[in-house]
Amino acid sequence: MCLAAWRCAPHTGLPWVLVSNRDEFHDRPAAPLAWWTDGPGGRGWLGGRDLQAGGTWLGLDPRGRLALLTNVREPAPPRADAVSRGDLVLQALRHGLDDGHWMAAELRRPRHGWNLLQLDLAGTAGRWWSNRPQPMLRVLGAGTHGLSNAALDTPWPKVRRLCRALDTACAEAQALPLDGGPGPGRRATPSPRIERLFAHLWAALADRWQPPDAQLPHTGVPWPLEQALAPVFIHRPATPGRAAYGTRSSTVLVVEQRGARPWLHLRERRFDAAGQPCGGAAWDGPLRVD
């Protein structure tokens, strides 16, 4: 997961909206969005799965506890003793927002740079953790935030662009009348206004606009790579000795408030090495707030 933006707007019809792109080498095996259980008696969680290291880049449980991970871009060579970062999402889902003591031990483990986001989709709470350049924690509440491969809300062009698109799409959706949707005797599938919101957010995640060089950060990686990683949607074709790299999947998550109960609409789109859609998954249902 390399890019995410989210909006928390309590006391509205859309208390949470989150969009994200997962960028990775296309030859790294992964499973699509599905329900998983970690071992006998383990808690179920919904998300994709990294089949190489066993973790995930984004997951949530039935109560609406969400966690997602991004890497921190670093020019240093990889460490041979580094532990996989994807397990941090599973740990966050196991412990939730009420328990932060587990993180102390994780911050001591040898890992490459990471950001971890935890959100309570049934409420308004959130936390952002990072281990670069030193351990950091920020408590989150209402508002719009963006996260890529640097600290929270670092104003990279693609972060700003995605946050603006998210706010614009949500403002338009909030202005539309409620129509249909979940409720007694109704299906859990999204209402027409939510489907319209999805369409705008998919377009935002598919944005391949290349920012001018003068706007790009200098993170220490070679300049052609800095340029290739600058768009919201990344497509870096394979070359001799290097697999294709880019946006492997896009995720849109909408929590729609209907009466007293929040309903979750989650969508995933997957892309092949040519940057073309190659599959998708969806889940709709109520969040448990007990």
Q: What would the pLDDT profile of 269-289 be if each residue is shown by its tens digit? A: 999 999 999 999 999 999 876
Which pLDDT tens digit goes with each residue over 31-52?
999 999 876 777 799 999 999 9
Distance CA 260, CA 258 (A): 6
pLDDT at 223 over 80: yes
Parent domain of 246: 3-286
User: pLDDT category, 184, cuts 50, 70, 90?
Assistant: very low
Residues of the chain with pLDDT > 90, as a percent, come to 80
CATH number of residue 90's parent domain: 3.60.60.10
Q: What is the pTM of this model?
A: 0.94
Instruction: Please count the structural domains in the chain.
Output: 1
Residue 290: the pLDDT is: 58
Distance CA 83, CA 81 (A): 6
pLDDT at 110 over 70: yes
CA-to-CA dists, residue 233 to 3, 5, 37, 98, 275, angstroms: 9, 14, 30, 34, 9
Which pLDDT tens digit goes with each residue over 249-263?
999 999 999 888 899
Please, are residues 114 and 131 in contact by the beta-carbon 8 Å criterion? yes
User: pLDDT category, 185, cuts 50, 70, 90?
Assistant: very low
pLDDT at 72 over 80: yes
Residue 260: the pLDDT is: 82
Average pLDDT estimate for 65-71: 97
Distance of CA 100 to the CA centre of its chain: 21
| Average pLDDT for the chain | 92
